[in-house]
Amino acid sequence: MQTTFTPEQLADPGIERANEILRTCVHCGFCTATCPTYQILGDELDSPRGRIYLIKDMLENARTPDAKTVQHVDRCLSCLACMSTCPSGVHYMHLVDYAREYIEENYKRPLFDRMLRWTLSKILPNPTLFRFSILGAWIAKPFRFALPGKLKAMVDFAPKSLPSPSRMDDPQVFPAEGKRIKRVALLTGCAQRALDTDINEATIRLLTRHGVEVVIAKGIGCCGAVTHHMGKVDESHASAAKNIHAWMAELNGEGLDAIVINTSGCGTTVKDYGHMFRNDPLAKDAATVAGLARDISEIMLEIGVRPVEKRNLRVAYHAACSLQHGQQIKLAPKKLLAQAGFTVLEPADPHLCCGSAGTYNLMQPEISAELKRRKVDTLEELEPEIISAGNIGCMMQIGSGTGVPVVHTVELLDWATGGPKPAKLG
């Protein structure tokens, strides 16, 4: 794609990177075949190719974003299926993230949208506030009929119950059982700490059982993904910087072999810290942290699981977009489940997004609901006994649309190697 940015514009690192990405696009349209919003809406501007045209025009002309451009960019899930499909290697993730940053800085949204986005940016990264917000949603449920669509979605999102805070999420060290083969730091997350404490506990048990010392570093918190994808750069970088400082302190102390992440949406962001901080004094440390980041499935595939009892159960595996497209991890979780003795089933269209996508199900509830329906249908067609996923957002989204138990992959691996049966299985 030909671009016409001026030398003055290209002096901006964001524009320079956008120009590099735009020039790799050859208009082939392969991306439309796997784009969830294009499949549902049938509008070229709701495809990656269409959004690229809109973003190019907005950036080249340095114009104030219009409502039409903002609407189509907002409708993007950042599922990144287009990046898996693109034959030209267009790095759509960096382009749409910069477009969102540009929109956040140059576009004044309607009051309700500004209030909603501000509220989500403050609540979701904070487990304590998130818990209080769910209590508020329970109180609001009887009045759901009177709420606007997006507030209804927030009330509907609230789970029926909340676990007590887990002390295993506090800063501490969990020693390896037997000979120590690795020392890793675990990202405990933010929403996950409020919604499902079983995931981190299962991860710690699984790792220590296989000879890995696990550190919960003092000072870690939200990875920054929620605000990053809203274009709120200062907030996302502040969250990420805290993690970088905390993990570098561990690395420079007793050392780390990896930073383990069990929420794939967070993993995609942490692995991109090097890019996010490329023009920052923290650039070197950020790149180091990004290089250490591993999904739990990557670490366990390297170590190998040692099942104590084969669980002959039919497991439908849902490939989270942030895992299969954002991190290009497609086989590891399925291999691990099979090694643990489960019968692994995969839907006919594994690229289909479930519609969770961070805050997407709260800000675009209609599109999200249709994607959830389609995803649940493809999974239930397999007649599974369990649905497995590697991302808390996907688990909540799919779980709200099916009666089949939805568990994290790591919970099944923990169970198969001597841990407790996941509570979700009853």
Q: What is the pLDDT of residue 187?
A: 97
pLDDT at 284: 98
Q: How confident is the model at residue 158 (pLDDT cuts 50, 70, 90)?
A: confident
Give residue 160's pLDDT band: very low, low, confident or very high (50, 70, 90): confident
| 378: confidence class by pLDDT, cuts 50, 70, 90 | very high
**Are 56 and 100 in contact, with CB atoms under 8 Å apart?**
no
SS (H, E, C) the chain: CCCCCCHHHHCCHHHHHHHHHHHHCCCCCHHHHCCHHHHHHCCHHHCHHHHHHHHHHHHHCCCCCCHHHHHHHHCCCCCCHHHHHCCCCCCHHHHHHHHHHHHHHHCCCCHHHHHHHHHHHHHCCCHHHHHHHHHHHHHHHHHHHHCCHHHHHHHHHCCCCCCCCCHHHCCEEECCCCCCCEEEEEECCCHHHHHCCHHHHHHHHHHHHCCEEEEECCCCCCCCHHHHCCCCHHHHHHHHHHHHHHHHHHHHCCCCCEEEECCHHHHHHHCCHHHHCCCCCCHHHHHHHHHHEEEHHHHHHHHCCCCCCCCCCEEEECCCHHHHCCCCCCCHHHHHHHHCCCEEECCCCCCCCCCCCCCHHHHCHHHHHHHHHHHHHHHHCCCCCEEEECCHHHHHHHHCCCCCCEEEHHHHHHHHCCCCCCHHHC
pLDDT in the model for residue 141? 80
Is residue 149's pLDDT more than 80? no
Model pLDDT, residue 249: 97
Residue 151's pLDDT band, with cuts at 50, 70 and 90, is confident
Segment 307-321 mean pLDDT: 91
pLDDT band, residue 401 (cuts 50/70/90): very high
pLDDT in tens, 25-50: 999 989 999 999 999 999 999 999 99
Whether 142 shows a pLDDT value over 90: the answer reads no
Which one has a higher pLDDT value, 406 or 311? 406
70 pLDDT exceeds 90? Answer: yes
Name the pTM for this structure: 0.93
